[in-house]
């Protein structure tokens, strides 16, 4: 009986993985056709960068101290806009109801949406990095900073996807998502800003490691919590 059980588990895992990547591919294909989500996120992110560029009339040394804060404000605002639009399009087109009717585990829908939103977020961040480097004359191509951005984005998008799924069911979804998301995202945003600033300033790893550890703990806790409650959220 043991080989049969192992085969069954392997088959379920393959089916789950196929369902997740089918949802990711659906989101990517829809975005390739419409270019609605990436365009909105990118325009918003670049607009925030340009506003900060003209608002912060600082000398180069002082500008370097605000780099981490400006970056994460840009990522947080653009990410929130993307999360809102992603779930709103699913709801308005009836795709969300269709996904819920499919014979797959609801957690596959959650992970599919998270991965899809992360792809969009990473694309925006990949464009923001060189634009910021040009505008602020600051070299952001630092391995530690890139790692921090990746880890921070994972946690932010995971909890944001769950809350966007909750907010999209209401009439005030555009207002409700930031109200729900930003208080919960405060720990990861603060940790990401501190870690990013440490890498940019070439601080000792001993000073940066606690912030990286906090980001990792946040990612694990909120991905696990979102995984457990997503089924109940979509049922409501």
Give CA torsion, residues 65, 70, 76, 78, to 10 deg: -160
Q: Three-class SS of residue 104?
A: coil
Asked whether the predicted pLDDT for residue 58 surpasses 50, the reply is yes
Query: Quick one: average pLDDT of 182-211?
Result: 92
Spatial separation of the C-alpha atoms in residues 192 and 64, rounded to whole Å: 16
**Range with top average pLDDT, 62-76, 124-138, 205-219:** 205-219
pLDDT tens digit sequence for 144-189 = 999 999 999 999 999 999 888 888 777 777 788 888 899 999 999 9
């Amino acid at each position: 009986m043991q080989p049969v059980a192992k085969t069954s588990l392997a088959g379920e895992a393959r089916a789950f993985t196929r369902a997740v990547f089918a949802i990711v591919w659906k989101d990517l294909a829809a975005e390739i056709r419409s270019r609605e989500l990436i365009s909105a996120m990118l325009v918003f992110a670049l607009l925030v960068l340009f506003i900060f560029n003209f608002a912060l009339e600082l000398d180069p040394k002082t500008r370097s101290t605000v780099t981490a804060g400006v970056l994460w404000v840009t990522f947080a605002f653009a990410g929130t806009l993307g999360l809102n639009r992603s779930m709103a399009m699913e709801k308005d087109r009836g795709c969300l109801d269709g996904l819920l009717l499919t014979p797959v585990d609801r957690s596959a829908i959650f992970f599919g949406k998270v991965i899809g939103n992360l792809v969009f977020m990473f694309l925006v961040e990949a464009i923001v990095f060189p634009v910021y480097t040009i505008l602020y004359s600051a070299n952001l191509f630092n391995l530690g900073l890139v790692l921090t951005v990746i880890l921070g984005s994972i946690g932010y998008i995971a909890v944001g996807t769950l809350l966007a799924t909750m907010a999209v069911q209401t009439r005030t979804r555009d207002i409700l998502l930031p109200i729900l998301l930003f208080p919960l995202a405060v720990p990861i945003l603060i940790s990401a800003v501190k870690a990013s600033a440490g890498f940019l300033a070439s601080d000792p790893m001993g000073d940066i490691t606690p912030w990286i550890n906090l980001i990792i703990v946040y990612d694990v806790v909120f991905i696990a919590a979102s995984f457990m409650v997503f089924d109940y959220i979509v049922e409501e």
